[in-house]
Amino acid sequence: MSPGRIAKGLTVFALLITLHYTLRPLLGWRAPVDFLVIAVLLTAVRVRPGTAAVVGFLSGIAADALTPESFGAAALAFTAVAYLASWLKAVFFADNFALNGIFIFLGKWAADLIIVIAERRLHGLDLLQQVLLWSPLSSLSTAIAGLVLLVALRPLLDEPAVA
């Protein structure tokens, strides 16, 4: 990977992280857009699975630092999702718009599932409501935001690497 590509990738990643900590709390939606997942997924499909796992882990630990009660849950989820995304990147190599949307949706939903299960905070009806209602809604809004960002940041994002 050339230094230019690395710089572009880091810029997009930093931009998405900034959006996560500024635009997300400003909007204050009940089903929020998760720019962190978008950043992890967009990075994961452009690096090797091992590197993707490290990026996912670091992003997750950063998210966990703000919720010490479930410390490690996001790290676990993002590590798994980033590694799988990087491993499956050949499927999305075509850079198909709809497939990218589904990819982000599933990635976010999977991350939420792992987090909810790992933190063991919700039970019964609340757990079902979170998993089957709020998480899909949040995944949907994240997927839509991810597609918008993909279009907007296309000059900065080159095609995903082949495994």
- Binding positions for other proteins, rule: CB under 8 A: 17-18, 21-28, 48-51, 53-54, 56-57, 60-62, 64-66, 68-69, 71-73, 75-76, 79-80, 83, 118
HEC string of the chain equals: CCHHHHHHHHHHHHHHHHHHHHHHHHHCCCCCCCHHHHHHHHHHCCCCHHHHHHHHHHHHHHHHCCCHHHCCHHHHHHHHHHHHHHHCCCCCCCCCHHHHHHHHHHHHHHHHHHHHHHHCCCCHHHHHHHHHHHHHHHHHHHHHHHHHHHHHCCCCCCCCCCC
Whichever of 93 and 101 has its CB closer to other proteins, that residue is 93
Whichever of 117 and 127 has its CB closer to other proteins, that residue is 117
Whichever of 64 and 105 has its CB closer to other proteins, that residue is 64
Nearest approach, Cβ of 68 to other proteins (angstroms)? 4
Whichever of 61 and 140 has its CB closer to other proteins, that residue is 61
Nearest approach, Cβ of 98 to other proteins (angstroms)? 28
Distance (Å, whole) CA 53 – CA 95: 21
Whichever of 53 and 110 has its CB closer to other proteins, that residue is 53
Nearest approach, Cβ of 12 to other proteins (angstroms)? 16
Nearest approach, Cβ of 154 to other proteins (angstroms)? 25
Nearest approach, Cβ of 144 to other proteins (angstroms)? 20
Q: Are 154 and 10 in contact (CB under 8 A)?
A: no
